[in-house]
Structure 1
Amino acid sequence: MKSMSVFFKDLGASFKKPKVIIPILVVLFIPVLYSGMFLTAFWDPYGKMNELPVAVVNEDTGAEYEGKSLQVGHDLVDELKKNDDFSWRFVTREQADKGMKNNEYYMKIVIPEDFSSKATTLMDEQPQPAKLIFEPNEGYNFLASQIGGTAVKEIKSKVSAKVTEAYTETLFDQVEKISGGLSDAGSGASTISDGAVQLDEGALKLKENLAKLVQGTNQLQNGVTPLEEGAVTLSKGAKDLQGGASSLASGLSQLSAAQKQLEDGAVKAQEGGAQLNTGLQASLQGAEKLQAGLTAAEQGSAKLQTGLEASLQGSGQVAEGAKGVAQGLEQLAKASPDLAANPELAKLIAASKAVAEGSQQVAAGQQELVHGARELHGAHGQLLQGSGELVQGQQQLAQGASQLASGQEQLASGLKQFGAKLSEAATGGQSLASGAAQLSGGAEKLQGGVGQLSGGVSTIASGSKQLAGGAGELKDGMDKLASGSGELASKLSEAAEQTSGVKKSDELVNMYAKPIEIEEHKMNEVPNYGTGFSPYFLSLGLFVGALISTLVVPTRGSSVSEATGWNRFVSRALAFTGMSLIQSILSAALMLYVLKLEVQSVPLFYFFTFATSLCFMFIIQALVTWLDNPGRFLAILMLIFQLTTSAGTFPLELIPDWMKVFNPLLPMTYSVSGYKAVISSGEFGVAWQNLGVLAGFGVAFLILTMLYFLRREQPGTASMTTAEA
């Protein structure tokens, strides 16, 4: 008997029994119900988030920031009112707590009263972040609380952007102020640079003049040394002059006294001349005495002439020395203005001039005295010669008596004049001695002053050298200041130009608050939750449908008693193939036309669904055919392992390592991967590759089923057992 005849007879027998056909019809819709119900319920759960009630409590009292009112909590509430991410319920704290307790809200978001004030602490030494209080009702629904946590993170980003906008506006305001300040600073720095250049030029002049000062002080120091030596010599000469003047005054006093005696003698000689006529004897004696007196007078007049000549020479030297001292002091006063202001120096210069003038007057008087002394000496010589002739020529005495009387009269008159001049010379000598004493004292003071002047000049020279060195350092510093101030002005101007280009605008503030926009390019885009989980739930529904099919379709028996094992194998294989075909068509149609699943290839989607269902059907058929109910238990155990290891929900990398071992060994791994290629990625090569693995699983387990029937060639019973029904 042919195997197809056995199949159709078994099929006809099933349709004659309502208890058999009805369960079969129900089982055909198991994959549709399983995958369809799951996917319909979770097709796009995020699309109805606006129906999820969430309580929002705003307790923010606001704050002031940089003169502006900051109402971050109020702005957040306005933002939430604009979107429908959740069913926002803006309530009080008491209403929110009561609603959470009564499971009216899935979560609660509280905006604290210090939310805005803490948002203004960014520039404080210890900034405090603003906090949102998120209270999920995890006991009410854990998944809703997890979704709410993600939403709160998004809210946090929006609020942060708003706060950043406020910060950015303030920052740009400050940048504009800084730009103006930098411009003013640049102008000020330019002024500083110009002043530094002028100051640098002044420092250069100061350095040059200080160099001249150093040179002048060196010359002054060199000139003070001879001056100091000259002052010492002057002091010594003044002392010698004082001694000579004192001697001169004493000699002139003695000479004046001798002149009076000479004058008296001349008077007596005149009287004797008058008596000469009366007695030659008396005249002869008088002539002898006269001769002796004239001899003494001649010697005295010679000494007087010598002393007067020496005095005249000393007076000339004193006058020249005093004149040189006065000129030296005047030159010194001209060379040193500070010294010229010293009143002692002025007195000294005046005294030197007075000494010079007095010395000149003394010299003039002495010149006259020398002339008179010379005449006196000549007269004495003549008298001495006359007295000799008088002694020798007594006979001529009478004749010359009258001449003698006349000469004696002239002598008396000359002696009177000589006495008057000698008295004046004595007075001048005393004045000269007094001036010489003053000159000596002034010379000593001059010597001390010149010594102090020398020390001061040395100090000035040392200080001027240090000042010149400091002026050099000042010049170097001013060069650096001029260069640095110029660079500062340039940099400040550049900074002002750069910052002046920063203009605050709403677009610029928004850019700083949200500097990054994400441009999303999805690869193998999955439009919704249901599309992403379709490979998993389709595979799961087809596997469950195949498992339940073994409960309503006989796996071993046949309604044809004469059927061989091969006939029964073919009949059962065709029956389960038909079940798979109908289940796969119904499931694919539901996904495509009811749930509007978008796939990369509709024919391939139908074919892959049928191949997957047929693979699962042959696997479960073999297990149940060989083991009956224990085989179903193994199928359920396989289903459990596949639920976790097929990577249909969480990625394979996230499951425990010991479970990863089962991933390549179970067929749902390949059905899920193939569905992803057919539905989303369009990688048909991957789909055909997985299809080949599924075909290998199906053929291998179909062969196991065939081996079972070939080993049991005894005819099947004429009717199905109760368990198989």
Structure 2
Amino acid sequence: MSTIILSPFRLAAAELRRFRGHPLRSLALAAIVLIPLVYGGLYLWFAWNPYGRLDHMPVAVVNEDQGATVTTDGETTAINGGDQLVDQLKADRIFDWRFTTAAEAARGLDDGDYYMVITVPEDFSARLASLSGTDPEQATVEFDLNDANGYVAGIMASTAEAELRNQINTAVYVTFATTIFGDLTDLNQGLTDAAGGAGDLTDGLATAQAGAAGLETGLGDLTTGAQQVADGADQVSDGVDQAVGTAQPVVQTLADNWDRIQTGASSAADLADRADTDLAAAYDALCTADPDADPAACTALQSFITDADQANSDIQAADDRIQATTTDTLDQASADLTALQTGAADVADGASQVAAAAATAETGAADLHDGLTDLHDGAGTLAASLATAAESVPSTNPAEDADNAEAYGSPVAISEDNLNPADTYGRGLAPFFIAIALWVFGLMAYLVLSTANQRALAGPLRSVPIALGGWLPAAFLGVLSAAALYLAIDLGLGLDPANALDTIGFSILVILTFSAMAHLCKLAFGTAGSLLLVVLLMLQLTSAGGLYPVETTPGFFQALHPLLPMSYVVDALRVTISGGDTAALTRALIVLAAYLVGALALSSLVVAGRRRWKPDSLNEPLRV
């Protein structure tokens, strides 16, 4: 039993020992191992990221625009859309722009010096200027290609056409905006100045706001004082009313009886004067003339006479005032009392009005303060908004502000999300070319290796070990080849698969399966088997869906797609390299395992058939 198990490995070792001795034989094995690396590695290297180097593709730009003028509101504005477009292209070098003449561009396109020519016609600005009128015309930009310089180069140029269109639209936008609205730089400066003015207004309103607060406080004090004055004036008015109410009837009664009062006063004055004179005469008679007069009585009489003199003087003075006062004077005094009463009432009313007005003014000052606060806040918001608006105005020079110009020229952008991005062209194609390289290994391996040990065929060993012994050398070398290919692509080009171990393990399964299929074809058909492998390679190249979606291919290839193993290899490697649904990997594992087991089983049957000798066994019908 152990002999049967070890026999395939001994046969494989014997096959590999055949290449010892001469260096050329060892180099042959090394060449087989390196075939996938040379094929897949070199191809992926040169095609790894061609779209990342478009700026090295020379493209001619011819600006024949003659410019134009537009008159708006009596003001003439010169525009030049061609220059704007040239500035925009210089700001974003998608290609290696060569700004040249029409003759040089035509010569370069014909000779292959330029892959594309972009021409701005002479009426470009004139057509743009028509957008401001009633009969607008569409401006055009000419793209000229030459597939004789490389059809793929033309496709690459066309791929970037969308970005070129964005740049053209940006230049058109800037030109159109200048035509309709004037120089956007002036608008920017105007908004900046307005923002500064609004800032100054905000500062002034802050000062006015503080003054309004002080005015409100002062008017509050004035209201309090005015109310106190009004209260005092009301009290004065009430007192005057009481005094006038008492005094005016008296004054009026005096006025009505003044003549009698004057007469009575005059009589009283005469009577007092006579009494004073009579007292003086009595004193002289009693005290001066009579030496025996009582001194005490005389002294008392003299004191009485002195009082009488004083009373007489007062009565005389009062009489003088009464006689000097006329009835008109009393009437005027009565009128003055009435006027005083009216004036006091008016003063009280005025004081009340002043208090009410002060209270109203205080309320108005509070409203003024609140209004100035709102106005201050609004002015601040206006200043900030104007400043933001000034920053939002795009530059009319795309070379100075390409990002803003592009945003305004192409206001709508496509937001793209890729669940499992390949990132580069070569990384996206890696599954396809790895599969091809591993298939080519099987094709090349059996140009050197033997499919079966001839001595074992003639011996007693069973067919299965013989078939396995013929396949194992290629399987061993294939594992080395797959490892070398992976290391070169990963370390040299930066494959960086999403699942490195899965990629390596699956690549080993692929090389085992493909080498088993190659072994079967070569074993069964000999030299014709190599031709069959080439045919299978071509069929798988066209049906695996490695370059284009299989749905876009003819029906024949769509029918082949699920039947051939390379389709499953490409799908699985996409998952291990870029990520995605692991169901594709599981399906590929099952299919490749079936192909591997089936190929080895059929190889065993072929070995069994070859052990029945026929005339063709010694002379193959086709040799290469």
Provide TM-score, normalisation by structure 2. 0.59
Q: Compute the displacement of 1:666 (Å).
A: 0.5
Question: Larger Rg: 1 or 2?
Answer: 1
Q: Secondary structure at the match of 2:574?
A: helix
Answering whether residue 444 of structure 2 is matched by residue 548 of structure 1, we say yes
Unpaired segments of 5 or more residues in structure 2?
Answer: 184-384, 395-403
Match of 1:586 among 461, 481, 484: 484
Query: Hey, what's the Cα distance between the residues in 1 that align with 2:80 and 2:68?
Result: 7
Answering whether residue 532 of structure 2 is matched by residue 637 of structure 1, we say no
1:153-198: CA deviations, max 9, x gaps?
Answer: 4222222233234445666689xxxxxxxxxxxxxxxxxxxxxxxx
Q: Compute the displacement of 1:38 (Å).
A: 0.7
Answering whether residue 158 of structure 2 is matched by residue 149 of structure 1, we say yes
Match of 2:392 among 484, 507, 532: 507
1:32-76: CA deviations, max 9, x gaps?
Answer: 111111100100111221221111111112122343322211111
Structure 2 match to 1:84? 93
Structure 2 match to 1:105? 114
Q: Compute the displacement of 1:682 (Å).
A: 4.2
Structure 2 match to 1:537? 433
Q: Compute the displacement of 1:87 (Å).
A: 1.3
Answering whether residue 55 of structure 2 is matched by residue 50 of structure 1, we say yes
- In structure 2, relative to structure 1, the CA distance for the partners of 1:529 and 1:150 (3 Å cut) is closer
| Aligned partners of 2:128 and 2:176 also within 8 Å | no
Alignment of 1:35-46 (within 5 A): 35-46=40-51
- The letter for the 1-side match of 2:428 is G
Unpaired segments of 5 or more residues in structure 1?
Answer: 175-500
Q: Secondary structure at the match of 2:149?
A: coil
Alignment of 1:97-246 (within 5 A): 97-168=106-177
- In structure 2, relative to structure 1, the CA distance for the partners of 1:131 and 1:18 (3 Å cut) is same
Structure 2 match to 1:263? none
- In structure 2, relative to structure 1, the CA distance for the partners of 1:7 and 1:92 (3 Å cut) is closer
| Aligned partners of 1:72 and 1:159 also within 8 Å | no
| Aligned partners of 2:51 and 2:156 also within 8 Å | no
Query: Hey, what's the Cα distance between the residues in 1 that align with 2:135 and 2:452?
Result: 81
| Aligned partners of 2:80 and 2:175 also within 8 Å | no
Alignment of 1:220-619 (within 5 A): 505=390, 507=392, 513-558=409-454, 562=459, 564=461, 565-619=463-517
Query: Hey, what's the Cα distance between the residues in 1 that align with 2:409 and 2:600?
Result: 65
| Aligned partners of 1:173 and 1:504 also within 8 Å | no
| Aligned partners of 2:439 and 2:511 also within 8 Å | yes
Query: Hey, what's the Cα distance between the residues in 1 that align with 2:62 and 2:514?
Result: 54
- The letter for the 2-side match of 1:655 is T
Query: Hey, what's the Cα distance between the residues in 1 that align with 2:392 and 2:163?
Result: 22
| Aligned partners of 2:512 and 2:596 also within 8 Å | yes
Q: Secondary structure at the match of 1:15?
A: coil
Query: Hey, what's the Cα distance between the residues in 1 that align with 2:24 and 2:106?
Result: 57
Q: Secondary structure at the match of 1:110?
A: strand
Provide TM-score, normalisation by structure 1. 0.51
Answering whether residue 65 of structure 2 is matched by residue 60 of structure 1, we say yes
1:463-496: CA deviations, max 9, x gaps?
Answer: xxxxxxxxxxxxxxxxxxxxxxxxxxxxxxxxxx
- In structure 2, relative to structure 1, the CA distance for the partners of 1:7 and 1:166 (3 Å cut) is closer
| Aligned partners of 1:57 and 1:91 also within 8 Å | yes
- The letter for the 1-side match of 2:423 is P
- The letter for the 2-side match of 1:55 is A
Q: Compute the displacement of 1:713 (Å).
A: 4.2
- The letter for the 1-side match of 2:392 is E
Q: Compute the displacement of 1:108 (Å).
A: 1.1
Q: Secondary structure at the match of 2:148?
A: coil
- The letter for the 2-side match of 1:43 is W
Q: Secondary structure at the match of 1:14?
A: coil
Q: Compute the displacement of 1:552 (Å).
A: 0.8
| Aligned partners of 1:539 and 1:668 also within 8 Å | yes
1:321-349: CA deviations, max 9, x gaps?
Answer: xxxxxxxxxxxxxxxxxxxxxxxxxxxxx
Q: Secondary structure at the match of 1:121?
A: helix
- In structure 2, relative to structure 1, the CA distance for the partners of 1:579 and 1:665 (3 Å cut) is same
- The letter for the 1-side match of 2:19 is S
Structure 2 match to 1:700? 598
Query: Hey, what's the Cα distance between the residues in 1 that align with 2:599 and 2:176?
Result: 70
Query: Hey, what's the Cα distance between the residues in 2 that align with 1:60 and 1:653?
Result: 45
Give me the identity figure in percent.
Answer: 27
Structure 2 match to 1:250? none
1:500-546: CA deviations, max 9, x gaps?
Answer: x9997562666654332333322201110010000000001100111
- The letter for the 2-side match of 1:36 is G
- In structure 2, relative to structure 1, the CA distance for the partners of 1:658 and 1:29 (3 Å cut) is same
Query: Hey, what's the Cα distance between the residues in 2 that align with 1:649 and 1:33?
Result: 20
- In structure 2, relative to structure 1, the CA distance for the partners of 1:170 and 1:143 (3 Å cut) is same
Query: Hey, what's the Cα distance between the residues in 2 that align with 1:534 and 1:5?
Result: 36
- The letter for the 2-side match of 1:675 is L
Structure 1 match to 2:13? 8
Q: Compute the displacement of 1:598 (Å).
A: 1.4
| Aligned partners of 2:127 and 2:137 also within 8 Å | yes
Query: Hey, what's the Cα distance between the residues in 2 that align with 1:7 and 1:532?
Result: 37
- The letter for the 1-side match of 2:435 is S
| Aligned partners of 2:471 and 2:515 also within 8 Å | no
- The letter for the 2-side match of 1:556 is A
